[in-house]
């Protein structure tokens, strides 16, 4: 079955820039991505799996994507990948030589979409010789794969019910959490930027290492005017995820918009020695 994908975050993005005008210039780099995503109208293939097929995998703690053939051809992701490579170069977020090596390997078929998919504990599985750091690979994967993965899983999102998935990675694509929302009933919902999936995960457990000792899980509070936002950290693995309490900020945007729109929180976490699997572009572009 095919549908037209639609991933238009531009209105939410404009609303966020309206709330954070001081960041508008810095964040302009994301505009091209959002325009291209909104315009992307390629037919996408849905998984087409039944509830039983999905839940059988989740019961084995396997994300759906892990047991599928690679869902895209190189040609299908090339245009967005080219845009992402250009952005990495333009903000100085990756070495020119590394980007060149990546582009050459892609052109001769040595790297394909499979190398950008989530792997155990990371996004992408590039040879270290390419020389692209983790954040850069995660960015390439997000920009180039999001519209396709978003569409791919659109028909099986409803199969995810409470209690069938308890890992800190996305049950659909296996990607790491990119943002966290505290929803109306007080539970925490983690968001995957790679496929747009979300899943409920305990508030007092680190999604990266599973640590649940309350004394290890500190919450950093950004400035007072940013009420509702915290940085949820883990002393054990030094991982962090930004978290938004939707009960306080009912007018906030989708998780990806909130994440890309709050690099100042990443800076706070980074300065205190915390890491995350996929930092926003302009954060890792900036010298520490």
The contact set with Zn ion (CB under 5 A) reads: 170, 172-173, 175, 192, 194-195, 197, 206, 208-209, 211, 234, 236-237, 239
Nearest approach in angstroms of CB 234 to Zn ion is 3
For 142-251, strand residue ranges (E) read 179-182, 188-191, 198-201, 219-220, 229-233, 240-245
Instruction: Tell me whether residue 98 or residue 199 sits nearer to Zn ion (CB atom).
Output: 199
DSSP code of residue 118: E
Instruction: Tell me whether residue 182 or residue 234 sits nearer to Zn ion (CB atom).
Output: 234
Instruction: Tell me whether residue 13 or residue 172 sits nearer to Zn ion (CB atom).
Output: 172
Length of the chain in terms of residues written: 288
Spatial contact of 239 and 206, defined as CB atoms under 8 Å apart: yes
Nearest approach in angstroms of CB 231 to Zn ion is 13
3-state secondary structure of 241: strand
Instruction: Tell me whether residue 234 or residue 282 sits nearer to Zn ion (CB atom).
Output: 234
Instruction: Tell me whether residue 167 or residue 209 sits nearer to Zn ion (CB atom).
Output: 209
Distance between CA atoms of residues 43 and 3, nearest Å: 6
Give the up-direction half-sphere exposure of residue 150: CA atoms within 13 A in the CB hemisphere. 23
DSSP code of residue 177: P
Instruction: Tell me whether residue 139 or residue 208 sits nearer to Zn ion (CB atom).
Output: 208
Nearest approach in angstroms of CB 88 to Zn ion is 22
Nearest approach in angstroms of CB 158 to Zn ion is 15
User: Which residue stretches of 67-219 are H helix?
Assistant: 74-90, 96-107, 134-152
User: Token pair for residue 16?
Assistant: 């966020």
Instruction: Tell me whether residue 220 or residue 237 sits nearer to Zn ion (CB atom).
Output: 237
The pairs formed by 217-222 with CB atoms below 8 angstroms and a separation of 24 or more are 219/243, 220/268, 220/269, 220/272, 222/264, 222/265, 222/268
Instruction: Tell me whether residue 63 or residue 280 sits nearer to Zn ion (CB atom).
Output: 63
User: Token pair for residue 79?
Assistant: 């245009």
List the end-to-end C-alpha distance of the chain, in Å, as a whole number. Answer: 47
Nearest approach in angstroms of CB 45 to Zn ion is 16
Nearest approach in angstroms of CB 169 to Zn ion is 8
Among 210, 188, 184, which Cα is nearest to 199's? 188
Nearest approach in angstroms of CB 149 to Zn ion is 7
Distance between CA atoms of residues 237 and 241, nearest Å: 12
Nearest approach in angstroms of CB 101 to Zn ion is 27
């Amino acid at each position: 079955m095919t549908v037209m994908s639609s991933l238009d975050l531009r209105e939410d993005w404009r609303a966020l820039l309206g709330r954070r005008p001081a960041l508008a210039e810095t964040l302009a780099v994301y505009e091209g991505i959002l325009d291209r995503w909104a315009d992307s109208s390629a037919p996408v293939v849905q998984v087409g799996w039944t509830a039983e097929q999905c839940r059988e995998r989740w019961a084995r703690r396997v994300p759906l994507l892990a047991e599928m053939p690679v869902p895209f051809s190189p040609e299908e992701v090339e245009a967005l990948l080219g845009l992402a490579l250009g952005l990495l170069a333009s903000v100085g977020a990756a070495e020119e030589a590394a980007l060149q090596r990546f582009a050459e390997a892609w052109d001769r078929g040595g790297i394909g979409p499979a190398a950008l998919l989530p792997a155990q504990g990371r996004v992408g599985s590039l040879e270290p010789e390419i020389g692209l750091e983790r954040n850069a690979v995660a960015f390439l994967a997000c920009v180039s794969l999001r519209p396709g993965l978003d569409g791919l899983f659109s028909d099986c999102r409803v199969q995810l019910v409470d209690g069938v998935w308890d890992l800190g990675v996305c049950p659909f694509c296996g990607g790491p959490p990119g943002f966290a929302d505290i929803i109306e009933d007080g539970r925490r919902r983690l968001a995957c930027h790679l496929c747009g999936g979300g899943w409920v995960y305990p508030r007092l457990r680190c999604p990266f290492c599973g640590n649940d000792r309350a004394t290890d899980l500190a919450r950093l509070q950004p400035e007072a005017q940013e009420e509702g936002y915290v940085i949820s950290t883990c002393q054990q693995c030094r991982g962090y995820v930004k978290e938004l309490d939707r009960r306080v900020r009912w007018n906030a945007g989708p998780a990806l918009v909130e994440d890309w729109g709050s690099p100042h929180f990443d800076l706070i976490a980074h300065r205190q020695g915390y890491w995350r699997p996929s930092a926003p572009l302009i954060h890792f572009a900036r010298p520490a």
